[in-house]
Structure 1
Amino acid sequence: MTPEQKQLIKATVPVLKENGLLLTTHFYQRVFSVNAELKNTFNMANQENGRQPTALAMAVLAYAENIDDPSVLLSTLQRIGHKHTSLAVRPEHYAVIGRHLIASISEVLGTAATPALLDAWTAAYKQLASLMIGIEADLYAAQVTKPGGWTGWRPFIVNAKIAETNGKTTFHLYPADGGTVANFGMSQYLNVRLFMPELQLFQPHPYRVEGAPNGQYYTIVAKRETGKTGSVSNWLLDIVQPGDHLELSAPAGVCPMGAPAEKPALVIRAGGCPMHQAA
């Protein structure tokens, strides 16, 4: 990026602070109206409650504020990279998202979106996309080289469904191919993906991987959610039974995937290994 382009990006910070959520809400509406297939990647409940547009607005603002040195956002980009790999986001998705982002800036800002400003944001997005694609390539490579590791969505079988006294339900999930599963670090999570008939979509939802690594299966705990259309957790509780199939992503999160679950692991940012919400 040129110095002039960086100045244009920084000049949009006040606008992003005031209207960032308007921009990202418009952006997601545009994405889903044109590329409806991406509804299978995003958790639509987080669109309804505004969580995902808000998270994106904050991320865009942080990027604009740090456009001179995006490396200061490395821990955030790493965390986003883990979320993206757990949802099978691939390099080709960035071109699609980029087109919608620049178009949304133009449509929301109107005449304020000058050709120079749009060129600056195009350059900024390409820089960010390059960073993210590199981070995610490393994460994908690390996943497939681990014993029992994989990328994308892998079929699993519900071996056990155990109702607990606290209103939660524990699930033991074994790989349908009979193979092993990768170890995981403390507080890492995986995404469960189910086809939701009421939405006619596949929907992902993250769950913390419970217990200690055993190489054979994963344990997750689900609890009922209220006020959510197409809740994966409610479907698990009400419909899914032992013997049923579902799809899992490999364990993800900023804790090293090989770290023993019983020992705290060195993490990229201070404060421990956080639980992640769905993207």
Structure 2
Amino acid sequence: MATTVTSNLDEQTREIIKSTVPVLAEHGETITTHFYKRLFEDHPELKHTFNMTHQKEGKQPRALANAVYAAAQNIDDLTAIIPAADTIAEKHVSLNIQPEHYPIVGEYLLKAIKEVLGDAVDAQILDAWDKGYREIADVFITMEKKKYETSAWTGYRNFTVTHKVKESSEITSFYLEPEDGNSLPFYRPGQYIGLKADIPHYPYTQLRQYSISDEPGQSYIRISVKKEDGTEELPAGLVSTWLHNEVKEGDVLPLSAPAGDFYLNETSDRPVVLLSGGVGLTPLMSMYKQCTDKDVYFIHAARNGDVHGLKEEMKGDQCYIIYEKPSEQDRNSEAYDKAGYIDLDWLRTTVPKDADFYFCGPEGFMRAVKEALQEWEVPEAQINYEFFGPAGTI
């Protein structure tokens, strides 16, 4: 049953907030960038919670700006933001966000609005946004409370790295078993765990979310991590490089419980089509292995065979591999089905239209797949996808 949210704000407050929508559309990202700058200056301890790579890349400020804009647009009836809010709440639970964090965020968001917009913002507007923010925060706090109550465990649980397996030139798998020897709970194929990394010589704890790349019911959780490139100042692959280069079998890693709203709908009778790009295959591999009684198609796109991870686990007549630029070795071994890219003409002849589609990968890949499915007029209810990192738009 869909969640509904009835506004407790008076009409004047709601009208003032709605009047700021054009300003948020123009200046929202500037406001949220300034918000994070001020927040971290005064509360550097929060750098232990936020992904600083996403800050540097601008992903987190952009995502927050989009969320604030959507809330302002729908302040009369916040029901419209519930699907997006549910995705964010899943990530918050994975990061162990607590109710006491929300007043701090609210304080600095109001400061940023005033400091960026100056005299264009008076006391009446700030008061309206203070009330509006508290109402929006209550939506998240309520949602997250329910999720914590049903979570397999709260906080972090220690896991031992029992196996470390190099899957490709870029991807390595880590097999993680509970240090306490107790069993693992069931999780939904497609969900992720949160990993807490305390990296030597780096001042802040780093929290990252990694999709579980194997099916439920095992004695372990497996994550398959791509080693990312970055800069000397703040490598995009700070945690992934540490995992690849420093973490070894026998080490202990703290994990939060499986979470996420991108998972296989096991009650549907439709065929399943899985489309992945690069390391985006990790949640889809978990789904694929669970589809034992379904008509399933698995299509994976990679630059070439050298970077294609978990390839030995893609077995079946309805598995298709697409390499953008096949190497000579790929061509000699005939290890792929198509050179180039996934396109609609090829999809039409390969998979059924009346199917549940799941896709994950780089933003450009996801945009191309979604546009192809929309052009094919696949119903929106049958299109499912997940962003790695802060939610974006495609």
**Aligned match of 1:29:** 37
**Partner of residue 386, structure 2:** 274
Q: Which residue, out of 227, 251, 255, partners 2:258?
A: 251
* One-letter identity of the residue aligned with 2:79: S
Over the aligned positions, Cα root-mean-square deviation in angstroms equals 2.4
Does the Cα contact within 8 Å between 1:210 and 1:220 map onto a contact in 2?
yes
Structure 1 position 178 matched with structure 2 position 181? yes
Is the 1:183–1:258 Cα contact (8 Å) retained in structure 2?
Answer: no
Query: Where does structure 1 differ by over 6 angstroms across 4 or more consecutive aligned residues?
Result: 256-260
Whole-angstrom distance in 1 between the partners of 2:388 and 2:221: 18
Provide closer, same or farther for how the CA distance between residues 237 and 207 of structure 1 changes in structure 2, counting only shifts above 3 A.
same
Q: 2:87 aligns with which of 79, 94, 111?
A: 79
Q: Which residue of 48, 51, 55 corresponds with 1:40?
A: 48
What does residue 132 of structure 1 align with?
Answer: 140
- The answer for the alignment partner of 2:13 in structure 1 is 5
The one of 183, 190, 195 equivalent to 1:192 is: 195
Q: Does 1:122 align with 2:130?
A: yes
The answer to whether the 8 A contact 1:184-1:256 is kept is: no
1:237 to 244, 247, 252: 244
Decide whether aligned partners of structure 1 residues 270 and 249 sit closer, same or farther in structure 2, where only a CA change above 3 A counts: farther
Shift of 1:165: 3.3
* Consecutive unaligned residues in structure 1, runs of 5 or more: 144-148
Alignment of 1:53-64 (within 5 A): 53-64=61-72
Q: For 1:23, what is the secondary structure of its paired residue? A: helix
Q: Residues 16, 76 of structure 1: CA spacing in aligned structure 2 closer, same or farther, 3 A cutoff?
A: same
What TM-score do the two structures reach when normalised by structure 2?
Answer: 0.65
CA drift of 1:66 comes to 0.8
Matches within 5 A, 1:82-97: 82-97=90-105
Aligned partner letter, 1:164: E
State whether residues 160 and 178 of structure 2, in contact with CA within 8 Å, keep that contact through their aligned partners in structure 1.
yes
**Which residue is 2:211 aligned to?**
208
Q: Does structure 2 conserve the Cα–Cα contact (< 8 Å) formed by 1:187 and 1:273?
A: no
Compute the displacement of 1:116 (Å). Answer: 0.7
Question: Following TM superposition, by how much is the alpha carbon of 1:167 offset from its aligned partner in structure 2, in angstroms?
Answer: 2.9
Aligned length: 274
What CA deviation, in whole Å up to 9, does each residue of 1:226-250 have, x standing for no partner? 1152511111000000011111111
Q: Deviations over 1:79-128 (max 9, x none)?
A: 01001000000111111111111111121111122111011001111101
Instruction: Compute the TM-score of the two structures, normalised by the length of structure 1.
Output: 0.91
State the Cα deviation string for residues 166-192 of structure 1 (Å, max 9, x = none).
Answer: 531110011112222222112111121
Secondary structure at the counterpart of residue 196 of structure 1: coil
Q: Is the partner of 2:159 in helix, strand or coil?
A: strand
Distance of 2:90 and 2:265 partners within structure 1? 15
For 1:234, the aligned partner's letter is: T
Residue 183 of structure 1 contacts residue 215 of structure 1 at CA under 8 Å; is this kept in 2? no
Q: Is contact 2:33-2:61 (8 Å) kept? A: yes
Q: Give, as a single letter, the amino acid of the residue that structure 2 aligns with 1:170.
A: S
Bigger CA radius of gyration = 2
Aligned to 1:167: 170
Task: Note if contact 2:190-2:263 (Cα within 8 Å) is conserved in structure 1.
Answer: no
Alpha carbons of 1:204 and 1:172: their partners in 2 closer, same or farther (altered >3 Å)?
A: same
Paired AA for residue 22 in structure 1: T
Amino acid of the structure 2 residue aligned with 1:202: T
1:184 alignment partner AA: Y
Higher relative contact order (CA 8 A, sep 6+): 1
Q: Identity, % of aligned pairs?
A: 38
